[in-house]
């Protein structure tokens, strides 16, 4: 039997692990978790990655359905011009976005909003910057049929796919129907594929799981700023760093009312409100916001520090604050820990 460690060594180990030591009767000691350390553990739990990807019962995943959805996602024949695919704007090499201030649609028309990344949408509750889609299946239809995006009505999509040799077998394998190429099955397959697009493990995740050396001390301080003084976690919460809600953060307002376009007239808080984007895999470069109006991360921090433009719809979470230069650097260092290693994506062989 190995000898027991001396009491002094046990106390030293307990202290190094973030425990305080309280005396008990008989001169011995027990390790008691420090309240501040316990609070940090509870806070970190709020950002822990889930173990499984959720899929709706009405559209369960199968390998055949995922493969079909991937083929459709990369197929430009879903657009009227046969030159725009879903992957044109949601490019895996650009973080499943396009790197542009604003998206470019049918006929090279500049659209009013930026292309969001489509990672981690399996956990989403509302989709599009204004939340007008209540499921990924509903969202998949919108850009295809929109005249200023892919400009292809769904009945035309179905007829075109029926004329492509090879698609009938893929649809039949995925859905098993006698006439499997339908608008509903197109969007079901696209949504299923998109649910598989999940951010990889980032250094932050390893730290959350207990690997203290996974991130540097400056990033740990930045996490404290993020969840504390700067108040970022009020909206950028949970493991995806989004509350899936809509806020007016006081940006320069234009004609685009965001969620306000669909809210009852009396709901002032939804005017100029847009969906909180995830900070996962955040590229530390601009442009930022729903319309790309802020071109640098420093300018983003300046905007939040000032609290945004004051108006009746301004979100109550928007409160001005001051950060020192060190705190700003620490906050950026923390955001960098949310970046996972890039994963290579194999392009599908289209029918």
How far lies 288's CA from each of 32, 116, 283, 323, in Å?
Answer: 45, 10, 10, 20
* pLDDT tens per residue, range 217-255: 999 999 999 999 999 999 999 999 999 999 999 999 988
CA-CA distance, 71 to 334, in Å (whole number)?
36
Residue 308, pLDDT > 70, answer yes
Which residue bears the tokens 């197929």? 75
| 1.10.760.10, 3.40.190.80, 1.10.10.10, 1.10.3080.10: CATH of 63-195 | 1.10.760.10
CATH 2.60.120.10 assigned to domain 203-336? The reply is no
Q: What pLDDT is attached to residue 264?
A: 84
Structure tokens at 191: 């949504």
Residue 263 is classified by DSSP as: S
pLDDT at 158: 98
Q: Which residues are catalytic?
A: 149
Give one word for 18, left, alpha or beta, with left for phi > 0 and alpha for psi -120 to 50: left
Task: Say yes or no to pLDDT of 80 above 50.
Answer: yes
pLDDT of residue 97 exceeding 80: yes
Sorted by where each begins, the domain ranges of the chain are: 1-33, 63-195, 203-336
Q: Which of 23-32, 256-265, 330-339 is predicted least confidently?
A: 23-32
The beta-strand segments (E) located in the chain are 19-23, 29-33, 246-247, 274-275
pLDDT of residue 15: 37
Instruction: Give the mean pLDDT of 303-313.
Output: 96
How far apart CA 136 and CA 265 sit, in angstroms, is 27
Q: Please indicate whether the domains covering 63-195 and 203-336 agree at the CATH topology level.
A: yes
User: pLDDT value at position 6?
Assistant: 41
Query: What is the C-alpha separation between 192 and 11, in angstroms, rounded?
Result: 52
Residue 99: CB partners within 8 Å, gap ≥ 6?
A: 91
Per the model's pLDDT, the better-predicted residue between 213 and 39 turns out to be: 213
pLDDT tens for each residue of 260-288: 998 887 889 999 999 999 999 987 777 89
**How far is it, in rounded angstroms, from Cα 210 to Cα 222?**
17
Q: Poorest-confidence range of 12-21, 85-94, 286-295, 300-309?
A: 12-21
DSSP state for residue 162 in the 8-state scheme? H
Q: How many CB atoms lie within 10 A of CB 183?
A: 17
Token pair in block for residue 75: 């197929």
Mean pLDDT of the chain: 89
Q: What is the pLDDT of residues 189-209, one digit of tens each?
A: 999 999 999 999 999 999 999
- Read off the pTM: 0.87
Joined together, the tokens standing for residue 170 give 């893929």
Instruction: Tell the burial category of 114 from Cβ atoms under 10 Å away from its Cβ (0-12, 13-18, 19+).
Output: buried
Does residue 25 have a pLDDT over 50?
no
Q: Which pLDDT band, with edges at 50, 70 and 90, does 41 fall under?
A: confident
Instruction: Confirm if 123 and 54 have CB atoms less than 8 A apart.
Output: yes
């Amino acid at each position: 039997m190995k000898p027991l460690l001396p009491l002094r060594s046990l106390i030293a180990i307990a202290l190094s692990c973030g425990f305080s030591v309280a005396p008990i009767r008989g001169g011995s000691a027990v390790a008691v978790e420090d309240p501040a350390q316990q609070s940090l553990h509870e806070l970190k739990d709020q950002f822990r990655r889930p173990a499984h990807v959720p899929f709706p019962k009405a559209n369960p995943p199968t390998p055949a359905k995922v493969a079909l959805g991937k083929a459709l996602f990369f197929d430009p024949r879903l657009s009227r011009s046969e030159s725009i695919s879903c992957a044109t704007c949601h490019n895996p090499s650009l973080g499943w976005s396009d790197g542009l201030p604003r998206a470019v649609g049918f006929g090279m028309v500049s659209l009013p909003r930026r292309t969001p990344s489509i990672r981690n949408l399996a956990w989403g509750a509302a989709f599009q910057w204004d939340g007008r889609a209540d499921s990924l299946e509903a969202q998949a239809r919108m850009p295809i049929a929109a005249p200023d995006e892919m400009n292809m009505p769904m009945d035309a999509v179905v007829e075109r796919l029926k004329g492509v040799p090879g698609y009938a077998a893929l649809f039949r394998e995925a859905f098993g129907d006698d006439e499997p190429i339908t608008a509903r099955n197109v969007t079901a397959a696209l949504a299923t594929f998109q649910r598989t697009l999940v951010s990889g493990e980032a250094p932050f995740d390893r730290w959350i799981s207990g690997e203290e050396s996974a991130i540097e001390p400056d990033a740990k301080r930045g996490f404290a700023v993020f969840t504390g003084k700067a108040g970022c976690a009020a909206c950028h919460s949970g493991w995806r760093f989004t509350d899936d809600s809509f806020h007016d953060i006081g940006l320069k307002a234009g004609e685009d009312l965001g969620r306000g376009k669909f809210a009852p007239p009396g709901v002032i808080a939804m005017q100029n409100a847009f969906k909180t984007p995830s900070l996962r895999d955040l590229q530390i470069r601009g442009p930022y916001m729903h319309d790309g109006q802020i071109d640098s991360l420093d300018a983003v921090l300046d905007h939040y520090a000032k609290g945004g433009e004051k108006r009746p719809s301004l979100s109550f979470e928007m409160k001005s604050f001051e950060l020192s230069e060190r705190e700003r650097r620490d906050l950026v260092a923390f955001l960098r820990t949310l970046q996972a290693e890039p994963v290579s994506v194999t392009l599908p062989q289209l029918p």
